[in-house]
Each structure stands twice: as C-alpha cells, then as structure tokens.
C-alpha cells in the first residue's frame, strides 16, 4: 500500500473518530499498520489470532469505542466464526478493512490457484455471514467508502467490510 492510500485511510479514520486499530500484521497493509502505530492519535493492538481481533473490536464497540480491524483475506476466512457471532448472533458493529488478495490485478506472486481460491471464497463468505461489503479499488473512492462503511456499521449495528484492492492496495 502506497503512502497516498495510507494517508487517506488514516485521515479518514481520524475524521470518523475511529481511534482503536486492531490488526494481525500482513504484508499488503504493513505500511498502514506501521503508520498507525507511529501516530499518537491511535491505540494500535496486535493480536495473535483473527478471531481474537474480531472479539476485541466487538468488546470495544460494546464499550463505546469506534474501532477497525485490519486484516488480509485469509484473516477473513480464519475469523469467520467470530464474525458470525458478532454479526449474526449479537449484532455488534465491527468495521473491517481487508486486503483483497486474489482480486483481479493482484500481482503478489502468490500462486494463482491460491489467489483464485481467495477470489472464489471471500465474497460468498461475506454474503453467507450477511456482512455488507464494498470493493474499493480506486483511491478517488477510498475516503467516501470508508466514511459510508463506518456510518453503515454503526447504523446497522453489524460488521461491515471494505475489501481493498487495485490502486488502493498495490
């Protein structure tokens, strides 16, 4: 992720009052999570497992904090049980920023079969979990998409995901 995308995300999170960022570090969003760690506005927490990150955000959300969970597409798959609990069972707002490995244009070097699996599973999984999502692949749409996702998350009282791809991610 380049510095322009990092800056847009950080400034929009601040404008939206999101000050807690939970992550399990991964390569595509590393520059974002490192910039957040350096910014005194944010409380940044690294977790050992994706489910732990979702539940930490859920608890913080219940306590009135605005938070975001930053993960990769594999993290989405691993966190599916926790997301089912927070969204479908309890209706807790959790904002998700997900690097969309496997989307068209991904030149990461990950074997094509694995990228295809991510592409074939990610969106159907979000639909199954009834998590509204948007693919954001243009920097021009990033700020507004993040604002709308944060609003929707709290208005719906449920998780909402932005799948970051294209020029936003690589």
Sequence length of the chain is: 170
In this predicted structure, the answer to whether residue 25 has a pLDDT above a threshold of 90 is: no
pLDDT at 105: 87
| Mean pLDDT (the chain, rounded) | 95
Name the nearest CA neighbour of 101 among 137, 148, 149: 137
Separation of alpha carbons 17 and 3, rounded Å: 21
3-state secondary structure of 22: strand
Q: Which pTM does this prediction carry?
A: 0.96
pLDDT at 160: 98
pLDDT at 62: 95
For the stretch 107-149, pLDDT in tens is: 888 888 999 999 999 999 999 999 999 999 999 999 999 999 9
pLDDT at 83: 95
pLDDT at 107: 82
Name the nearest CA neighbour of 70 among 6, 116, 4, 3: 6
Which domains are present in the chain?
3-169 (3.40.50.970)
For the stretch 40-61, pLDDT in tens is: 999 999 999 999 999 999 999 9
What does the radius of gyration of the chain's CA atoms come to, in whole angstroms?
14
Please give the angle made by the CA atoms of 161, 73 and 84, to the nearest 5 degrees.
55
């Amino acid at each position: 992720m380049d510095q322009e995308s990092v800056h847009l995300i950080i400034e929009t999170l601040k404008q939206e009052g999101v000050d807690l960022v939970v992550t399990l570090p991964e390569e595509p969003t590393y520059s974002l999570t490192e910039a957040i760690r350096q910014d005194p506005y944010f409380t940044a927490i690294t977790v050992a497992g994706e489910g732990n990150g979702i539940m930490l955000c859920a608890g913080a959300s219940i306590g009135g904090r605005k938070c975001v969970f930053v993960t990769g597409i594999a993290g989405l798959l691993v966190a599916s049980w926790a997301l089912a609990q927070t969204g479908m069972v309890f209706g807790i707002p959790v904002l998700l920023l997900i690097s969309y490995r496997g989307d068209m244009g991904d030149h990461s070097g990950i074997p094509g079969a694995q990228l295809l699996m991510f592409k074939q599973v990610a969106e159907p999984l979000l639909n199954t979990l009834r998590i509204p999502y948007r693919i954001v692949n243009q920097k021009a749409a990033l700020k507004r998409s993040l604002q709308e996702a944060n609003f929707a998350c709290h208005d719906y009282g449920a998780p909402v995901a932005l799948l970051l791809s294209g020029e936003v991610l690589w």
